Structure 1
Amino acid sequence: MPELPEVEIVSRQLRENIPRGTRITEIEFLTPALRTVVDKATIQRLVGEPLEAISRRAKYILFHTRRGILLSHLGMTGTWRFDDGPLIKHDHLRIYFAAGPSCVGGKGAKGAKAATCTLIYNDPRRFGQVALLDLDHQRFADLGPEPLGPDFSGASFYEDCRRSKATIKAVLMNPTVVVGVGNIYASEVLFRSHVRPGRRANRVSKKESALIVDSVRKVLSEAIAAGGSSIRNFRGLDSAQGHFQKRHRVYGREGEPCPTCAEPIRRTVLAGRGSFWCGHCQK
């Protein structure tokens, strides 16, 4: 499942290629439902509207207009791409934009720039989501802070840990504590922080909490710079794979030598998710 770095990359690529003010000219629905039923009539309100912004909150991509916010969640296998060619298997939604001088677009006859640029959502497993939010929505009211923002601190994370009887990995992946840290990056963060994923969160010290927050920032920033982690399906808007999976120190490396001490990397299942860690380096 795409985690925060992967969603941030797609969000940035969309902003770079669809300028503010670009008008939505048509929305074409190719399937009745993804994870939930797509409210086609409501989303059609956006046709004719100019984009005011494209942003990200947690693992959601948000297309802002004056008449509402189009929300996109990639689920496990969702991708967006620019493509004015034939549809392919698992395409579920097409959004047409007026192709201004800066907007990426297809090519018309004899290579002339097309009048529209076409953005397509593809999702083989259909666990993604597309919905329209009102401008005064409270969809994210219960979410925690952004991990790369100023509100996520060692002090606040320590207080969340102190009040919890869950494992430190569960707290790190809890979106009411901090958003966007999924299974892959939680393993990498805890390895760099020298904290065992199965340790109870209320046994993590202030110093360790600060180190975990610092590691979150470093790991996620490095992953964004490397184009994300392409474990199975993730592709950017340009269909390029990420490269951060080549830098994973523990995730997916069960039985391989720890890059620090050479002990074999272990794998433990916590809350139904595989956790990778070093028994010597992480306590």
Structure 2
Amino acid sequence: MPELPEVETTRRGIAPHITGQRIRQVTIRQPRLRWSIPEDLPCTLKGRKLLSVDRRGKYLLMAFHHGTLIIHLGMSGSLRIVDADAAIQKHDHFDLLLGNGLRLRLRDPRRFGAVLWTDQPAINHPLLADLGPEPLGDTFDGDYLFARGKVRRTAIKQLIMDSKTVVGIGNIYASESLFRAAIHPTRPSNRTSRRRYQRLAEEIRNVLEEAIAQGGTTLRDFLKEDGNPGYFALSLQVYGKSGKPCPRCGGVIRSKSIGQRSTFFCPACQR
């Protein structure tokens, strides 16, 4: 699944090509994604100017004067900038034809993504209203995590993957951040010190910033907007490396399921 760095990489990649452009045509080839694409969207957007492209968690927000187009990439979705006459492939479900002659194209083989419209403030949309702070924002730090964690009895990995606590920390980056912070992923959130939460918040920020800088994690189902994979997978230290030596202590990296997600950690380094 594309995580926050992949979505932010996509946002940065497509924004220069689509911001300020008017929508010439909307093409819906497959309306049945996770939620149905509004059937009146072609009329709603035709001739309208796209003002900005922002991100909230893993949602892309494309603002117009009269509302916001909300796009989620789901499990396997990707957005690309293609020429107006680019060949249509099997899983190309949605296009915006722009005034500059380019198309913004959504490809989503598993169809777990979403294309939605709201004419109300986007932050009030049901999918966005209850989201926690951005991990790269000013309101996210160790003190915030400590306050949230001390009233919970959940594994710390599940705490930081809860979008109501903080948005956008998916499975890969949760494992990597906890490794860097030397915190065992099953450690109870209410038995973790403020100092350790401060270290964890710093490492979450570091991991995400590095991933964004390197273009997002290479996943089978994700390609950047220009068709090239991201490269942060080359820097992963524990994720997907069960049975291999720990890069810190030389011990054996283990894996286990936490919250039905595969988790990778070093039992010697992480406490």
TM-score tier (shorter): over 0.9
On the 8 A contact 1:45/1:67 being kept in 2, the answer is no
Q: Give the one of 179, 194, 213 matched to 1:206.
A: 194
**Counterpart residue number, 1:81:** 80
Kindly provide the CA deviation profile for residues 57-116 of structure 1, in whole angstroms up to 9, marking residues without a partner as x.
Answer: 1000111001210010000110111223110111100110100xxxxxxxxxxxxxxxx2
Q: Give the one of 217, 223, 248 matched to 1:229.
A: 217
On the 8 A contact 2:156/2:188 being kept in 1, the answer is yes
Secondary structure at 1:40's aligned position in 2? coil
Kindly provide the CA deviation profile for residues 213-252 of structure 1, in whole angstroms up to 9, marking residues without a partner as x.
Answer: 0000100000001111012111111011011001100000
**Counterpart residue number, 2:135:** 147
CA 263–136 in structure 1, closer or farther in 2 if over 3 Å, else same: same
On the 8 A contact 2:26/2:41 being kept in 1, the answer is no
Secondary structure at 1:51's aligned position in 2? coil
**Counterpart residue number, 2:96:** 95
CA distance in 2, matches of 1:206, 1:128: 37
On the 8 A contact 2:27/2:42 being kept in 1, the answer is no
Secondary structure at 2:129's aligned position in 1? coil
Question: Aligned letter for 1:164?
Answer: R
Does 1:159 find its partner at 2:147?
yes
Q: How far apart are residue 16 of structure 1 and its match?
A: 2.0
On the 8 A contact 2:25/2:42 being kept in 1, the answer is no
Q: How far apart are residue 43 of structure 1 and its match?
A: 5.4
Q: Where does 1:125-274 land on structure 2 (aligned, <5 Å)?
A: 125-137=110-122, 138-139=124-125, 140-274=128-262
Question: Aligned letter for 2:92?
Answer: D
Please say which structure displays the higher CA radius of gyration.
1
Residue identity over aligned pairs, in percent, reads 40
Question: Aligned letter for 2:6?
Answer: E
Secondary structure at 1:8's aligned position in 2? helix
Q: Where does 1:113-132 land on structure 2 (aligned, <5 Å)?
A: 116-132=101-117
Kindly provide the CA deviation profile for residues 190-218 of structure 1, in whole angstroms up to 9, marking residues without a partner as x.
Answer: 00000000111001100000000000010
Secondary structure at 1:221's aligned position in 2? helix
On the 8 A contact 1:14/1:237 being kept in 2, the answer is yes
Q: How far apart are residue 44 of structure 1 and its match?
A: 3.1
**Counterpart residue number, 2:14:** 14
**Counterpart residue number, 1:70:** 69
Aligned residues: 266
**Counterpart residue number, 1:112:** none
CA distance in 2, matches of 1:201, 1:94: 44
Task: Indicate the RMSD between aligned Cα atoms, in angstroms.
Answer: 1.0
CA distance in 2, matches of 1:42, 1:133: 11
Secondary structure at 1:191's aligned position in 2? helix
CA distance in 1, matches of 2:39, 2:197: 45
CA distance in 2, matches of 1:160, 1:195: 17
On the 8 A contact 1:3/1:59 being kept in 2, the answer is yes
Stretches (4+) displaced over 4 A: none
Q: How far apart are residue 136 of structure 1 and its match?
A: 2.5
Q: How far apart are residue 46 of structure 1 and its match?
A: 1.3
Kindly provide the CA deviation profile for residues 244-277 of structure 1, in whole angstroms up to 9, marking residues without a partner as x.
Answer: 0011000000000000111110001011000000
